[in-house]
Amino acid sequence: MNRKRLSMLFLVGCILLTLVTGLAAAAEPGAQLNLDAYEKLSGVSISTFNEAPELAELVTQGVLPPVSERLPVNPAVVVPIEEVGRYGGTWRRYGHLDWATYGYLLHEPLVRWAPDGVTVEPNLAEAWEASEDATKFTFRLREGIKWSDGEPFTVADVMFWYEDVLLNKELTPAIPTWIRTGDNPPVFTAVDDYTFTVEFDSPYALFVEQLACSGTQVFAPKHYLKQFHPKYVDEDELTALVQEAGFEAWYQLYGNLTNVQTNTDLPVLYAWKLTREWGAEGLRAERNPYYWKVDPEGKQLPYLDRVAVYYTSDWEIAFLRVIAGESEMQAVGSNLADYPLYMQNRERGNYRVYLLPGVFPTEPAMMFNQTVKDPVLREIFRDPRFRQAMSVAINREELNDLFFFDLADPRQATIPEPSPFYEDAFAEAYAEYDPERAKALLDEMGLEVDKEGWRLRPDGKRLELTIEARQPDVWVDVAEMVEKYWRDVGVATVVQVRENALWWARVDANEHQVVTQGFMTHPLMIGSSSLNLTGWPAWAPLWAQWISSGGATGEKPIPEVLELMELWEEYKGTVDADARNELGRKMMQIHADNVWIINAAGRAKPTVAIVHNDFRNAPSDWLYGGPYGMEGGFHPEQFWLDR
């Protein structure tokens, strides 16, 4: 798809003036349409609904109402990627103690990205409209959707999130950048039980697209969470609940209870609901009997009975089990460097290997902490010439050949193609291997060389760097090669391998100097990414704190970063696609000049997914990444086991 086509699709998505019904999306494999739109487009009427045998038995016993009463008036119809499936089975997968487990399957926003990755389709909201100036948006929820405990999902859940969570200073000290224009949050207004408006004081052309991205949920189960909110509960009663749970403040208790991986009582709208909380043995999630999507035959989804996530502290060990056939599908944690191993064991493990195109601009990134505690290092790290030197000291072609089998693009960190404001010049900035140029830049900075050939800091001490690396293992391998490249230009460097939890704790505490890290960004969106410090903030944690808190905490960024954030605010509010793309180019030019994020091996084109041959409807060529909801963006509800 060419850039002009992308821009046109994006513009149409931003300034929709009529209600969206889903008719614009063809009933192609992987599409999701409203029931009425599907019937009109396909010519097939779905007059009756069916359900999993175990749920039918509960209906017979009087435990559940009939399936027709559990589904909304206009359910979403998911067109299977391969074929209509059968009920039953468990999806086994692996994860460690963070969100990259069951959480990667949980993607049910108001609207969602369509299979093409650039247009938006209905989801919890069956329709929406936007004002011509992109300041006011009206959403219509599907009437009759129910939470996993059978309670109705209505605008009351949206208004609870807005009034009692977003605007509550104890729960939300600072309004996130994705839900505001400038410094101000929007105004949510309930029109009726299923219709609400969102109005900004300045244009927000990307708002609907932002809502399609993972992590932008604008609702919460009021009927459940209000039990733990001081607006709805007697103070003494709430204090007793807080103390009983071992917390000091109500907002700590509230936050703990919203953790979908540990609270088995939390009502959800996902295909599977947690039944065993995350711990050393992993977790279990069972079919949600009130899930609100069906297949083209009227069968209530999901097909799979349950999801089982097994704990792993080591991805290498986990993938030995995966290739032994002990997982139905696994993408997260895969190692591109182990691609030959995965391919060699396909027959024995009875699986196929997919290379999913991703939105990972780096493999991996090398990030110098711009807010590092050492004031001398801070001065060095903030000099663009130092980062430029460290970038051209890296031999990306060699890294690509050694670890990625020429499947990565040796390039600099920038917006990935097919973004309409991608330019080769951004990807080529300081990406060539030129150690002599690196030395010249370090000389220009005045970083002298001692008698042993090592660079000295301005205070006369030897310039010594620590790269903190973590799994996946290939990132450690890359870091060790980067250590060699930097030592070759006189910068004494060592690699320290950290356990994941410790790595994150140190980054959050601003304790690191340099880290290896990957990140994702949508080809049309820059929000929630390292490129504007609203995603992984490892290259400047204190600047990120300042940005997210509206200046209340952290450290005010340098002028170039402030300009970057100002351009982002202007970008997301610009309706005209050509003007918006020009702003995107300006942002990427600032990154190209400053190389705050140094790409090591290059852009990682594919993510490896190992899919058991009995596991059906898994896409082989869909975009994979955080903005799309990871595996949650693949409509996991239509996965099934042919056993």
Domain range annotation of the chain = 14-220+258-350+626-643, 226-257, 365-601
Most confident option among 1-5, 98-102, 300-304: 300-304
CA distances, 343 to each of 336, 340, 346, 606 (Å): 11, 5, 6, 15
Secondary structure of 483-515 as H, E, C letters: HHHHHHCCCEEEEEECCHHHHHHHHHCCCCCEE
Query: Would you state the pLDDT for residue 418?
Result: 75
Nearest alpha carbon to residue 141 among 182, 197, 221: 197
pLDDT at 15 over 50: no
Nearest-angstrom CA–CA distance, 304 and 534: 35
Q: pTM (2 decimals)?
A: 0.82
Query: Would you state the pLDDT for residue 357?
Result: 84
Query: Would you state the pLDDT for residue 527?
Result: 61
pLDDT digits (tens, 9 = 90+) for 327-371: 999 998 888 778 899 999 999 999 999 998 877 778 789 999 999
Whether residue 115 has a cis bond before it, omega within 30° of 0: no
Query: Would you state the pLDDT for residue 7?
Result: 39
CA distances, 299 to each of 186, 471, 550, 561, 583 (Å): 39, 41, 48, 51, 46
Give just the sign of the alpha carbon dihedral 329, 331, 334, 340.
positive
Percent above pLDDT 70 for the chain: 94
99 pLDDT tier (thresholds 50, 70, 90): low
Query: Would you state the pLDDT for residue 142?
Result: 97
Query: Would you state the pLDDT for residue 204?
Result: 94
- Lowest-pLDDT range of 34-38, 47-51, 212-216: 212-216
Secondary structure of 434-484 as H, E, C letters: CHHHHHHHHHHHCCCECCCCCEECCCCCECEEEEEECCCHHHHHHHHHHHH
Nearest alpha carbon to residue 36 among 128, 119, 126, 165: 126
pLDDT at 19 over 80: no
Tokens coding 116: 């093409």
CATH number of 14-220+258-350+626-643: 3.40.190.10
13 pLDDT tier (thresholds 50, 70, 90): very low
pLDDT digits (tens, 9 = 90+) for 452-470: 999 999 999 999 999 999 8
pLDDT digits (tens, 9 = 90+) for 540-551: 999 999 988 888
Mean pLDDT of the residues in the chain: 90
- Lowest-pLDDT range of 12-21, 275-284, 480-489: 12-21
Tokens coding 430: 């300081």
Is there a contact between 601 and 363 (Cβ–Cβ < 8 Å)?
A: yes
Which CATH class name applies to 365-601? alpha beta
423 pLDDT tier (thresholds 50, 70, 90): very high
Asked if the domains at 14-220+258-350+626-643 and 365-601 fall in one CATH topology, the answer is no
97 pLDDT tier (thresholds 50, 70, 90): low
pLDDT at 270 over 50: yes
Backbone angles phi, psi at 603, to 5 degrees: -75, 130
Query: Would you state the pLDDT for residue 10?
Result: 38
Taking residues 274-301, what's their average pLDDT?
Answer: 94
Packing angle, helices 3-14 and 577-594, rounded to 10: 120
